[in-house]
Every structure is written in structure tokens, then in C-alpha cells.
Amino acid sequence: MHSYNVLKRLAQNVAVPAMFVDLDVFDANVHALAKICRDSGKTWRPATKSLRVPALFKRLQKIAGETQKGWMCFSIFEASYLHAQDPKIFNDLLIAYPISTEPEYEEAFKLLERGCNFHLMIDSPAHVNELSAFLRKKSTNDKRSFHFQVCIDVDMSWRPLGLFHLGVYRSPVRTIAQFKEIFLEAQKSDFVLLTGVMGYEAQIAGLPDCNRFNRWQNPIKSLIRSFSKKHVLRWRAEIARFLDTYKARLRFFNGGGTGSFEFAAHDPSLSEITAGSGPLQSQLFDYYCENTAKKILRPALFFALPVCRIPDHKRVTLKSGGFVASGEVAPDRYPSLYRPENGRIIGSEGVGEVQTPLCVPDSSIYKLGDPFFFRPAKAGEIAEHFNHYVLFRDQKVEEIVPTYRGLGLNFF
């Protein structure tokens, strides 16, 4: 699939640099993820941050049908924008990262007034108190009564013997006593209602164990993944038991990511799974043994950069290209050359700010304007570099749709 000549013909119809999405592959990836969810009796809450293209949200929603339930947004302003676009499609919005500033509280209040069903993330009594104080102030000026729906974010990192921290640094909630403290604080407040729990196992979902860089680390990462799976299952079950004991009937227990999708789907404590990158299958997700072995997801996202000069017979220089992904500084954060296959990024230059040179076996076969195709390491943040995505099927451009950036939107 995706031979160089096919992609090159496709690129002739649009101005490059451009980003391309293969709709057949996108649709098949969505079907595959939705099936895993359906088969395990769970729903799918897609992460918008990993797509950032409203037309792709709607496409996903149409294909996944009833299995898709709610969205995981990354910003309250984003949630507000989406809800205003279509309150039927964009409802049940989980804002996955806590809000903490006055403009964010005000935006959340506007969303409340518009009747949107959304959930704010909390992980400390301080979050409960801040949200409550804000609404208390609002209620004194306003006769109506309001409450924020909230979700407790629980740290899923694995801390063997308390000596190491294998995971990310987000939520401080690591024991049932800490969970209980926030739970009771939320129960005491008239201004918040606990509706969900999130336990995102970042050290599994974000730890590729089949990486072609630093191969020697793969067995260690595999071990961390498998030991932390046991820890995560136990810890989420403990929280579920606690909620049962207190007869707390929450709306959802969220977990999972593209890198841990099947694992999370089989966890009986969870009611729903999140994945955002999976439909596009950006490069980093090829480095997970599970996915590589089963080939569940295939790459649907590529960008094309044109040759703008030819420095010598072994090199071409492309326009643009500095799309290094976030995370630990490492070679796997670079985009990878997809088509043609025989070329490589020059180590001493990397991907440039406005020009990217490549080593090729013979530069004389290329001419100015010829496109080179890359896969981005991550699926979402690359959308901040392109105004549009070119959606194609069967070698033909079907539609050109705006990204958040193309719509003039920049969410934090």
C-alpha cells in the first residue's frame, strides 16, 4: 500500500507542504478500536488532542456509532468551542486536565449556563475548594444554583517498594486514603458532584517496547509494562471496591490509551476506554509489540514536503520540516521518512526549522517540487503546523478540511 508513485500523484493535486489522511485506513482503524470496545462491553471516549480536526471527530463518531460515548477534551475553551458547534455530537465532555485560572473557571461557568454535560478533572481537596469557592461567589450574585461535575484523576504509576516512580507525574492520588479524602471533600460541597474517575496508565500506554531506537531497552520496557499491568489492575479494582462500599454510582471509570487499548478494554473495573492517536496510527505507536504483532492499526497520516533545492548528488533539501514531537528528547520523536523509503535525515542537522536536508542514494532522480512523505511521531500536535488536512481515498482527494489551527483556534 501507499507506493511512492501513488502518493506522488496524489500530491500533484494539492499545494505541498500538506498533510494527508488515508480515509480507508482511518475508517478501518476506527472500526478495529470500536470492535475491541464493543466486544468487551465498554464505550470509547476519544481524545481530541490526538486528532485536532473537527471533521475527523465527526467521521469517527459516525463510524463508531453507539460505541463512542463522550469526548476527552484537553481544554475548557476547546470543550466550549465544540459544544457550540454541535451540542448533540459534542456533549459529555471530560476535560482531562485540571483547570486552575480565572478565565478557565469563567469559561466553565458559561458552559454550565449553556446546559453542557461536562466533567472537570480534580486530584486534590484544593481543586474541590477552588471550584466550590468560585461557584459560591457566582451563586451569591445569581439566584440559580449550580454545581460542577468532577472526575478524580488517580495516579496509576508503579512505585515498586516506594523507591522508584515508574510513570508520569500528574495526580498525587496514590493511596485509597488520599482518594477517600477527595471523595469526602467532594461529598461535603454543594458545588461539585463526583461523576467519574480516571486512571490513565501512562507508563504502559506511553512506553513502546518494540522501539527501533535503543533496542537494548526494549526487554526492560516489556518487563515494566507487564509488572505495571498487574499493579494497575489491582489499584483500579481497589478504587472500584471503595466506590461500591460507599454506594457511589458514578457515570464512568476511564482508562487506557492507544498504547494500552486492549489491556484497558479487558480491565473489569473500567467502564470506558480512551484512545485518540489510534485512528491515525502515528509513528510512535508502531513501536508497541502488541500492535506490531497483530497489525491491528495501520498508518493513516503522512505529510509531504517538496524538494526546494539539491545541494549535491547525495542530498536533497526539502521545504519546512521541524516537526519534532513532545516528550523525552530522543530520535523516535523525529518524523520518519515514509516514501520514498531510501533516504535519511542527516544527524548533524535533524529536521530543520524551515528547510530539511536528506541523504538520498542519488539526488539526480529528483526534481524541484518532488514531494517526500513523512509520518509524524505523534498524531495530535502535528496539526498545529498545518491549516488543513487532505483527506483521500482510492488515490483521489475527497475533501480538504481545517485543523484547529486552520480555524484560527489555539487551545491550551
Q: Site residues (CB under 6 A) for ligand PLP?
A: 47, 50, 96, 200, 205, 257-259, 274-278
Q: How far is the CB of 303 from ligand PLP (least distance, A)?
A: 18
Query: CB-wise, 208 or 257, nearer to ligand PLP?
Result: 257
Q: How far is the CB of 307 from ligand PLP (least distance, A)?
A: 32
In 3D, which of 96, 134, 94 has the Cα closest to residue 117? 94
Q: How far is the CB of 400 from ligand PLP (least distance, A)?
A: 24
45, 338 contact by CB (below 8 A): no
304, 20 contact by CB (below 8 A): yes
Per the structure block, which three cell numbers stand in for 137? 461567589
Query: CB-wise, 135 or 275, nearer to ligand PLP?
Result: 275
Q: How far is the CB of 13 from ligand PLP (least distance, A)?
A: 29
Pairing mode of beta strands 43-44, 396-402: unpaired
- CA–CA distance, 80 with 76 (Å, rounded to integer): 6
Q: How far is the CB of 258 from ligand PLP (least distance, A)?
A: 3
Query: CB-wise, 200 or 373, nearer to ligand PLP?
Result: 200
Q: How far is the CB of 120 from ligand PLP (least distance, A)?
A: 14
Query: CB-wise, 97 or 146, nearer to ligand PLP?
Result: 97
Query: CB-wise, 310 or 382, nearer to ligand PLP?
Result: 382
Q: How far is the CB of 94 from ligand PLP (least distance, A)?
A: 9
377, 332 contact by CB (below 8 A): yes
Query: CB-wise, 257 or 371, nearer to ligand PLP?
Result: 257
Query: CB-wise, 191 or 261, nearer to ligand PLP?
Result: 261
